[in-house]
Structure 1
Amino acid sequence: MAENIAAQSAVSSRGLGLSTKMPAFFHVLEDQWDPTSNPQGIVNIGLAENALMQEEMKGFLNSHLNVESHALTYGDGFSGSKRLRESLCHFLNRHFQPHVPLSPSHMVATAGASNALECCAWALCDPGDYILIGRPYWTTFRTLLGNRASVNVLDVNFDGVDPFSSDAVELYRETYMQAIKKGKKITAILLCSPNNPLGRCYSPEILCSYMRLCGELDIHLVSDELYALSVWENPTMEDPDQFKSILSFPSESLMNPQKLHVIWGMSKDFGATGLRIGCLISQFNTRFLNACESISLFSFPSSLADNAVAKLLADDSFTDHFISLNRARLSENYRHVTTTLSDHGIPYTQSNAALFVWVNLGAMTKGHGATDADILEILNREKVYVTSGLTYASEQPGWFRIVIAHPKHVLDEGLKRIFGAMLYYETRITK
């Protein structure tokens, strides 16, 4: 008891609180499966990393990373070099087709998209404010918004309503009204477009509806477009919506353009989570960007990564080929995984975007009432890592997210272990 008290006194109350919020997947990174060097390790098909394009990315970086003295300094400031922001504008103007062309003054560069989102929490919200997010969603948003900036997430429940429909937009309105009656201050809607974990895009009509709603409620709209270019062909999906950036609409006719903000980064579309380059775009709110600049010391991207990404995004030939090849490989892997799931009678939702499939493993328990925690326990036993609906505030139990952006031998090993785990559960429960 005395030792426990002594240990607690060694850190602040704030430190004690943060120590319980360690990311749950660090143990996976320390013991990743390799068929040769670590065959007993954990097969990681849970983290949203894109491993399909690493050879192409390594080839470009190794042949183009010519370090200059400028890259070893504080450069042009803490929010990205002039060259990086010019390259980001060039690239995003080509692929996002903004209604008002982007210029470097419209953005700040950050050490990844997570930093960009935390900048929104600091500069758009006061401590205790709420941001609306529709379920299911990546619950690490709560960590990014809350751990340091003390901004809360308020879930929007759909109760069976299609999350991509106009009815869903109205549920945001209802949730907002109910929260205001309870004295909560709602600052913004955070929209993940394309959606994580559902892997679908919003139609242009629905995106405009969200903008109109934010205009009517006079709140901010933050569009997280991290998977924008990871949209691929799914021949079995009837007339799927394609990605359209919120920047491509005439925002001034739909909402207060000062309250529209977009986040993008290199981690998903370019399979480069380790480069830590993201950007926060706000075309009509210089004061907001200045506020982000004021805390840019805490989101300062590496000058070496800055240098490499600036060269990469300016190379149209390379990026066009990279994006096309990435989409083809994602499409192929989607078909591979979903065919295997179908062969084993496992339901999944149709998708055509991002890096994953939303899978109903709970359906394999045949009505035995298995919880997500029960299924995770047996998956851990088989040393395969996927993330459960609990991680995404899912309204229905039994749903899990499987990342498809891995070489097929990794996917096959992971799926084999999932099927083995579920068979073990059925054998144990029916004894």
Structure 2
Amino acid sequence: MQNRLQALGHRIKEHPLAKLGPGLVTGVADDDPSGIVTYSQAGAQFGFNMLWTMPLTFPLMVGIQTICARIGRVTGKGLAANIKAHFPPVILWLVVILLVIANTLNIAADVAAMGEVAELVLGFNRHVMAACFVILTLLLQIFIPYHRYVVYLKWLTLSLLSYAFILFVVHIDWAQAFKKTLFPSFIWNANSAAIIVGIFGTTISPYLFFWQASQEVEDLHRDGGKSLLEDDSCAKSELQRISWDTWSGMLYSNLSAYFIVLATGATLFVAGIHDIETAAQAAMALRPLAGDFAFELFAIGMLGVGLIGIPVLAGSASYALSEMMGWSWGLEKKWGEAPQFYLTMTLSVGIAIFLQYLSISPMKALVWSAVTNGVIAVPLMFVIMLLSANKAVMGRFSLPTHIKILGWLATALMLIAVTVMFLMF
């Protein structure tokens, strides 16, 4: 019996799905509640005419996230530690401080959206529900070891499937959808530019860079392994795993975002509902058009990805600040082993809860977090690309040409998007 169980365990480990790790959780965290609001607004305002952004951003997401994962696995250090070792302190301080501010605003916007949706479904006060969600995720991160907690996160990624299921209860003109994906038609103005910038900003975000790199280091420490610079005996299999993990995770994320734009374009846009400012508005608007089932699926998806997005946002800020300050860090550690790491996480979500009771508009929080992310993203992406090209950092593990091209393309397009964003303000 024991031999059979061991054989079964070995087969499970060898299954391709078992290789999904940081890339899967990172991809789903990309579709956090603030992202869902952005995608819903794109569908409501422009119908199918913003679907083209999804196939465009997909390879760019893969490129930059693969590079971040490689840096973490090759060096055995997160992004902040590598930046600290190879760039002037002012660059590191500026990036990390802005990241913490942007993540806190993003958490506030996410928990506000979750609170609103939970109030619709359960009837409890939105602020109370928001606080409950934040406290729940914080307690899970602090008191449950990473190797167990990450299992819950992976199961929660299934919540994104709810947006695929919505497509079965609404009428979709698939021919028109595919046509608009390839040949969109919209007027270039402040509104369309804002949506495009918003999609880029929620799809390619700095907190995802830090999270995936640090998660590779978490996995390395948990397994008692060494960085590829220290031991390259498993380099081929590890780099293949990172590639598979990131491509599949980003594909899952990108398809889900595509489905959200598709569903809201087929319902809200067709019904003449073009202005969606909150998740609650999107959910309520879907109910009379697509029925209670679609409404419930939308709500389930929102709450599920929110429970992933909050720990990723809080965790990435804690990773970056801890590496910058030289503190002990890691979700596998207990509070007593990494007090500053967990205190940073606690303060971040605590401030986010406090912002709820100031009645700050979730949309304003989203705007400011998008602006801050835009400020960080471009220089940070340049820094990441320079790190990945530095032999003192990566040794013999230079990037494949196609990943290098995707990384620089993502950087260039983010620069364009941010430039447009500043021209609009």
Q: Same fold (TM over 0.5)?
A: no
In terms of fraction of residues, the more helix-rich structure is: 2
| Higher Cα Rg, which structure | 1
In terms of fraction of residues, the more strand-rich structure is: 1
Normalised TM-score (structure 2): 0.31
Greater RCO (CA < 8 Å, at least 6 residues apart): 2
Normalised TM-score (structure 1): 0.31
